[in-house]
Amino acid sequence: MIANPVPWPNGAKCAVCFTLDMDAESLLHLAHPEKAHSMVATASMLRYGPDVAIPRILATYRHYGIKQTFFVPGWCAERYPYAIEAMLKDGHEVSGHGYLHENPNKLSDVEEAYWLERSLTALQSITGQKTPGWRAPLYNYSHRSTDLLLDHGIAYDASLMGDDIPYLLQAAKGTLLELPSHWGMDDWPPFMHSLDLGMEMPIQSPARAWEVWWDEFDVMWTYGGLWIPVWHPFLSGRLARWHHTHQMIGKILDKGQVWIAPMQDIAQHVRACIDTGSWAPRVVDAYSSRNGARP
Ligand SMILES: [Zn+2]
């Protein structure tokens, strides 16, 4: 079913990274800039992420001895430096996710470049490290994003949905490695419910969410794909959900032949395969959403 699977390290059947986007109240300030400060209940729901969920998630990762990836808006890193410190202390990757979760599809050329740079500057001032990767807020990736990310030396993107395995985005300034995911691996559809944010998904049980995710994982394992769940600490880090996820991570490890690694390690491995010629990626036009038009 997958014609050209990546040769994963140590004969693993698939690569997995549980990515968590720590959005916190950036979502609220973006949606309601004038009155976010007074919307205390919704703020508390979002703040649950850095304050309660992150320590819980990190404890699970320590329990299983795995390193993973967090995507964090620059504003959230500035507001919750202690959450970032805790991630880095345990050896996890922290990568970029906008500044205030802004939508590049609603920005001008100059504005997208400004917010991307501000995002990376803020994140790097807190992490003290060069940012390895990027996920566009709410998958809002634009026709300019590839060139801007290449300008900033970003090694991979994780915003697109164009394949089951990594592929390359060909832009004017070079190629960017894409590590794709999709909505079927996201916790927004089963868990996101907030009147203030205009999202009223019918909430699913953790078991139902994992029924969908396990099907996605299982076929990636069978056919040699890449499984990148897109989760949020304020959603998936709630007690019942993370309790279930903690158990399911154990089930994945018990299944075996799975390479669980941070996104930057997966990107590095895939680039090495390309450079040595042991695997050849599909190459996709980074501007295809503009019907082939180039800048
Ligand atoms: Zn986000």
Q: Note the pLDDT tens digit of each residue in 236-245.
A: 999 999 999 9
Output the CA 172–ligand 1 centroid distance in Å. 27
Output the CA 21–ligand 1 centroid distance in Å. 5
- Are 157 and 178 in contact by the 8 Å Cβ rule? The answer is yes
Residue 180 has pLDDT above 50, yes or no: yes
Q: How much of the chain is in helix, strand and coil states, percent to nearest 5?
A: 50, 15, 35
* CA pair distance 223, 213, nearest whole angstrom: 16
Average pLDDT across the chain, whole number: 96
Output the CA 138–ligand 1 centroid distance in Å. 5
Residue 293 has pLDDT above 80, yes or no: no
State the average pLDDT over residues 203-223. Answer: 98
Output the CA 178–ligand 1 centroid distance in Å. 18
Output the CA 146–ligand 1 centroid distance in Å. 18
Output the CA 10–ligand 1 centroid distance in Å. 32
Output the CA 247–ligand 1 centroid distance in Å. 25
Instruction: Locate 45 and state its tokens.
Output: 């729901």
Percent of the chain scoring above 70 in pLDDT: 98
| Confidence tier at 288 by pLDDT (50, 70, 90) | confident
Distances (CA, A) of 59 to 55, 84, 101, 225, 240: 6, 14, 27, 27, 15
Angle between helix 109-127 and 81-89 (nearest 10):
60
**What is the value of pTM for the model shown?**
0.96
Q: Residue written as tokens 């699913």?
A: 204
* CA pair distance 156, 287, nearest whole angstrom: 17
